[in-house]
């Protein structure tokens, strides 16, 4: 489930990761019912309520046969589950997302682990959520391994080392270093665009050829060529695609339309590219659906991104020095 309503920023006092059963067996019941399920079925509920944690450690050593250190670790987990307050943020991983919730005080004892539920549980305050406070999904593949590595914890409950990062993500706050990086990237993109505009036409054609070569495309025609409205013919060995490329230093919309129509005619190419560094006006792909070719227009920031993606920033600096 995904909740889109705006929430207020969270300020937890503690953060704990909890594994919801072996192979996440209790995850569905927990997420759907607004509960946090927990096991240790041999541990008596009344002992936990009294807070006699030394007795519990003794239980783990004598009844469960655990070592001193392991028994203390198990006691810590049970104690955290029973004593962490309403300001503790609980997280877990399920369905390729990180889920988070706060829990009401008090533990309900179910005695047995069955029907997809643990031996005991706490009720969440509100629902489990897998989005930030603005409703954006918290997908595991889009999160830092600093956080997601906690899912490999072999026991049940532990502190979250990357808690500051987690809280910023939940609150929809971008990492400070990313803010700096975005500003630096925008400056680099602007500089790249300006350098491209200063290229001699021959260097510009070479740059376009390098972009495709470094992207895996293989040129099967001479650079420049002799075919009307086609400067490069390329193929992509990994997919067998064939592409036609027209390179222009300057262009208007009429030229774009004519070149794309010519390259697309007959369906000889899987893709067609029109590349221009100095457009005389705002350019767009018109009637791109009239052919089977996938049509790409590279100019301005799109062209700068392609050059940067191909690692040509230093090459550009050398060409205009």
Per-residue confidence band for 290, with pLDDT thresholds at 50, 70 and 90: very low
pLDDT (tens digit, 9 = 90+) per residue, 153-204?
A: 999 999 999 999 999 999 999 888 888 999 999 999 999 999 999 999 999 9
pLDDT (tens digit, 9 = 90+) per residue, 31-63?
A: 999 999 999 988 999 999 999 999 999 999 999
pLDDT recorded at residue 224 = 54
- Provide the whole-model pTM: 0.68
pLDDT (tens digit, 9 = 90+) per residue, 94-132?
A: 999 999 999 999 999 998 888 899 999 999 999 999 999
- Whether pLDDT at 226 is above 70: no
pLDDT (tens digit, 9 = 90+) per residue, 243-261?
A: 999 999 899 999 999 999 8
The DSSP element (H or E) to which 39 belongs, if any, is none
pLDDT recorded at residue 1 = 43
Which tokens in the block code for residue 172? 């929809």
pLDDT recorded at residue 240 = 94
- Whether pLDDT at 213 is above 70: yes
Per-residue confidence band for 5, with pLDDT thresholds at 50, 70 and 90: low
Which tokens in the block code for residue 36? 């946090």
Q: Which residues make Cβ contacts (< 8 Å) with residue 121, sequence separation at least 6?
A: 30, 35, 36, 37, 38, 107, 108, 110
CA distance 67 to 175: 41
Per-residue confidence band for 227, with pLDDT thresholds at 50, 70 and 90: low
pLDDT recorded at residue 125 = 97
The DSSP element (H or E) to which 81 belongs, if any, is helix 68-83
Helix crossing, 53-62 with 68-83: angle to 10°? 140
pLDDT recorded at residue 281 = 79
Q: Which residues, listed in sequence order, are joined to residue 131 by a DSSP beta bridge?
A: 137
CA distance 167 to 257: 50
DSSP-derived 3-state class of residue 95: coil
What integer is the mean pLDDT of 5-33? Answer: 92
Place of tokens 């992207």: 215
pLDDT recorded at residue 161 = 96
Which domains does the chain possess?
Answer: 14-170 (no CATH), 178-320 (3.40.1350)
pLDDT recorded at residue 3 = 46
CA distance 231 to 262: 12
DSSP-derived 3-state class of residue 153: coil
Between 77-81, 112-116, 312-316, the lowest mean confidence (pLDDT) is in 112-116
């Amino acid at each position: 489930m995904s909740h889109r309503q705006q929430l207020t920023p969270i300020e937890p006092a503690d953060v704990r990761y909890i594994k919801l059963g072996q192979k996440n067996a209790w995850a569905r019941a927990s997420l759907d019912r607004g509960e946090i399920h927990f096991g240790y079925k041999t541990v008596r509920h009344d002992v936990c309520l009294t807070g006699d944690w030394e007795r519990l450690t003794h239980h783990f050593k004598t009844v469960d046969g655990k070592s001193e250190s392991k028994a203390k670790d198990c006691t810590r987990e049970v104690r955290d589950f029973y004593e962490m307050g309403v300001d503790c943020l609980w997280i877990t991983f399920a369905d390729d997302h990180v889920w988070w919730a706060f829990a009401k005080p008090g533990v309900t004892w179910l005695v047995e682990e069955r029907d997809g539920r643990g031996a005991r549980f706490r009720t969440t305050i509100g629902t489990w959520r897998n989005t930030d406070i603005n409703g954006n999904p918290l997908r595991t593949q889009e999160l830092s391994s600093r956080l997601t590595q906690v899912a490999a914890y072999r026991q049940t409950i532990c502190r979250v080392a990357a808690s500051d990062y987690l809280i910023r993500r939940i609150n929809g706050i971008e990492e400070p270093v990313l803010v700096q990086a975005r500003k630096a990237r925008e400056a680099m993109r602007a500089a790249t665009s300006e350098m491209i505009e200063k290229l001699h036409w021959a260097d510009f054609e070479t740059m376009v050829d390098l972009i495709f070569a470094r992207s895996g495309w293989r040129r099967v025609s001479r650079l420049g060529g002799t075919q009307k409205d086609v400067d490069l013919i390329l193929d992509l060995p990994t997919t067998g695609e064939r592409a036609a490329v027209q390179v222009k230093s300057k262009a208007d919309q009429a030229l774009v339309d004519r070149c794309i129509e010519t390259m697309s005619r007959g369906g000889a190419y899987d893709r067609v590219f029109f590349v221009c560094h100095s457009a005389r006006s705002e350019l767009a792909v018109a009637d791109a659906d009239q052919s089977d070719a996938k049509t790409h227009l590279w100019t301005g920031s799109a062209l700068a991104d392609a050059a940067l993606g191909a690692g040509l920033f230093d090459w550009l600096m050398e060409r205009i020095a």
